[in-house]
């Protein structure tokens, strides 16, 4: 039986290019690092799984516009709390698990991908130069383009901390209260978090539909529970009214306020306005249009390979929010996809070496599930358990830091790379 030593047939190094360094991209990279060194992938929690019998030479390049890992789930709190903002963005160079000679992280963007020749054009944001990178396998994991305040617009940690600090001051100085526009997941979490952090502030949530979370395939009792929790915490909720006009008013000493007009003619005054209306779009412009849906999502098979008939489709994978796949898009789903994509790419590497048929992990259709952190409590829905809420649930789903430690520890980001 072969040991976990590199075998003589391994005469070349496999090159993997990953576009996107968030939950999906990093979980794929970490899975590949583990498996290529002959270890069980860190995300595989099944008992009795044996490690690979071969070590495989591998070189991974991750390309991301940011200079670090940003915990997207924590945005509602990070943009209103300096202490949490500092924790929620970690530079890639400061993540112990990523300090591997087999992994290179480039701060930049993938401009184009040539599927036929398996070469990508990368624009390096540090050197301002554009170069070509050949690869054996490619993973698209760049997610969705989201506006502020759903995500910060900064690309460097220091800029992000300044952005968060400036936003916090706008919140603190809003003498006429704060209006949050949009009652999706981001809007409701933001309104609840603001009331928790600044209980003296008047917080108003305005949503154009008659029920919150109207864009999600979730039952009415879930939305109703969310409304109840918000109102109990002191958030004023206005449903069924669209904001049709927002006008800035310069006050004394240059202090600006805002006059908002709703569709029914109601007037609201605010010291600060936060637009949480969801306007996200896939960041897939670097991919061939033949691989995408009309909305720009990547069509995938259940093994994460590109589904449409594009050249070398079996060497191209997509993970996370950029994919067209059933279920509500969540960070847990992206991590799961990254694990499966990394494992399946490793199977293809083994197949090339041993001529054995690859054994793929295949996704199942995700049911609609959701968990929301609403200040001091949480509300969740799963098909099996229905709608639940409570402070204890908040600890279970999000811990004490909007799920940052849960994600970080699950991905084992603090564990130094083992050669």
Return the percentage of the chain with pLDDT > 70, whole number. Answer: 96
pLDDT at 6: 43
Residue with tokens 């087999």: 102
The yes-or-no verdict on residue 417 having pLDDT over 50 is yes
**CATH tag for 176-277 (out of 3.40.50.2300, 3.50.50.60, 1.25.40.10, 3.40.50.720):** 3.50.50.60
pLDDT at 8: 39
The yes-or-no verdict on residue 2 having pLDDT over 60 is no
The yes-or-no verdict on residue 361 having pLDDT over 80 is yes
Nearest C-alpha neighbor of 109 from the set 91, 94, 129, 136: 129
Q: First vs last Cα of the chain: how many Å apart? A: 22
The yes-or-no verdict on residue 24 having pLDDT over 60 is yes
Which pLDDT tens digit goes with each residue over 386-416?
A: 999 999 999 999 999 999 999 999 999 999 8
The yes-or-no verdict on residue 79 having pLDDT over 70 is yes
Q: Tell me what the mean pLDDT of segment 169-173 comes to.
A: 90
The yes-or-no verdict on residue 161 having pLDDT over 80 is yes
Give the C-alpha separation, 375 to 402, whole Å.
10
Which pLDDT tens digit goes with each residue over 183-210?
A: 999 999 999 999 999 999 999 999 999 9
pLDDT at 4: 46
Give the C-alpha separation, 49 to 211, whole Å.
46
pLDDT at 349: 95
pLDDT at 327: 78
CATH code 3.50.50.60 region(s) in the chain: 8-146+280-366+404-411, 176-277
Band of residue 253 on the pLDDT scale cut at 50, 70, 90: low
- Bigger pLDDT: 419 or 106? 106
Residue 269: strand pairing partners: 259
pLDDT at 11: 60
pLDDT at 279: 74
pLDDT at 3: 46
**How many residues are listed for the chain in this entry?**
419
Residue with tokens 């994978």: 317
* Top-level class of domain 8-146+280-366+404-411: alpha beta
The yes-or-no verdict on residue 373 having pLDDT over 90 is yes
> Is the distance from CB of 32 to CB of 74 less than 8 angstroms?
no
Nearest C-alpha neighbor of 142 from the set 297, 322, 301: 322
Residue 275: strand pairing partners: 181
Nearest C-alpha neighbor of 337 from the set 186, 139, 71: 139
pLDDT at 10: 58
Q: Give the CA count within 13 Å in the CB-facing half-sphere of 141.
A: 36
Tokens found for residue 103: 């992994």
Give the C-alpha separation, 351 to 157, whole Å.
41
Give the C-alpha separation, 157 to 146, whole Å.
18
Which pLDDT tens digit goes with each residue over 300-323?
A: 999 999 998 899 999 999 999 999
Phi, psi angles (nearest 5°) of residue 210: -80, -10
- Supply the mean pLDDT for the chain: 91
- Collapsed DSSP state (helix, strand, coil) of residue 357: coil
Cis peptide before 175 (omega within 30 of 0): no
Which pLDDT tens digit goes with each residue over 44-61?
A: 988 888 999 889 999 999
> Is the distance from CB of 113 to CB of 288 less than 8 angstroms?
yes
Give the C-alpha separation, 365 to 386, whole Å.
18
> Is the distance from CB of 361 to CB of 340 less than 8 angstroms?
yes
Phi, psi angles (nearest 5°) of residue 252: -65, 145
| Strands of the sheet with 236-239, listed across from one edge | 236-239, 203-207, 178-181, 272-275
Q: Tell me what the mean pLDDT of segment 173-189 comes to.
A: 92
Lowest mean pLDDT among 91-105, 135-149, 251-265, 280-294: 251-265
Taking the CA atoms of 174, 176, 177 and 178 in sequence, report the sign of the dihedral they define. Answer: negative
Q: Tell me what the mean pLDDT of segment 77-96 comes to.
A: 91
Nearest C-alpha neighbor of 322 from the set 291, 356, 353, 283: 283
Burial state string for 305-340 with b = 16 or more CB within 10 A and e = fewer than 16 = bbbeebeebebbbbbbbbbebeebebbbbbbbbbbb
């Amino acid at each position: 039986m072969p040991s976990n030593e590199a075998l003589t047939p391994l005469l070349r190094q496999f090159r993997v290019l990953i576009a996107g360094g968030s939950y999906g991209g990093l979980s794929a990279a970490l899975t590949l690092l583990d498996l290529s060194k002959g270890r069980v992938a860190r995300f595989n929690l099944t008992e009795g799984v044996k490690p690979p019998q071969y070590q495989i030479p591998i070189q991974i390049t991750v390309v991301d516009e940011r200079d670090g890992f940003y915990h997207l789930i924590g945005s509602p709190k990070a943009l209103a709390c300096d202490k949490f903002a500092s924790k929620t963005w970690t530079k890639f160079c400061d993540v112990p698990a990523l300090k591997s000679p087999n992994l290179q992280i480039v701060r930049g963007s993938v401009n184009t991908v040539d599927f036929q020749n398996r070469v990508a054009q990368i624009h390096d944001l540090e050197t301002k130069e554009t170069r070509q990178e050949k690869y054996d396998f490619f993973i698209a994991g760049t997610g969705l383009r989201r506006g502020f305040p759903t995500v910060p617009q900064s690309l460097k940690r220091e800029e992000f901390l300044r952005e968060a600090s400036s936003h916090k001051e706008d919140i603190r100085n809003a003498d006429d209260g704060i209006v949050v526009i949009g009652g999706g997941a981001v809007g409701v979490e933001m309104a609840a978090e603001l009331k928790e952090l600044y209980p003296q502030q008047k917080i108003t949530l305005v949503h154009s539909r008659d029920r919150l979370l109207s864009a999600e395939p979730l039952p009415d009792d879930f939305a109703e529970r969310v409304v109840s929790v918000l109102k109990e915490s002191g958030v004023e909720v206005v449903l069924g009214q669209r904001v049709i006009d927002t006008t800035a008013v310069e006050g004394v000493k240059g202090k600006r306020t805002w006059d908002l007009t709703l569709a029914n003619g109601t007037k609201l005054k605010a010291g600060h306005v936060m637009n949480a209306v969801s306007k996200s779009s896939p960041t897939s412009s670097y991919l061939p249009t033949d691989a995408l849906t009309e909305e720009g999502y990547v069509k995938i098979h259940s093994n994460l390979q590109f589904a449409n008939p594009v050249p070398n489709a079996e060497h191209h994978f997509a993970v996370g929010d950029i994919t067209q796949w059933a279920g509500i898009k969540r960070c847990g789903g992206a991590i799961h996809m990254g694990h499966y994509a990394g494992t399946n790419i490793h199977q293809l590497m083994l197949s090339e070496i041993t001529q054995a048929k690859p054994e793929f992990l295949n996704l199942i259709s995700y049911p609609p599930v959701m968990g929301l952190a609403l200040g001091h409590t949480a509300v969740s829905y799963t098909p099996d358990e229905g709608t639940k809420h409570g402070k204890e649930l908040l600890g279970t789903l999000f811990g004490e830091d909007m799920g940052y430690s849960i994600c970080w520890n699950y991905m084992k980001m603090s564990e130094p790379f083992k050669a």
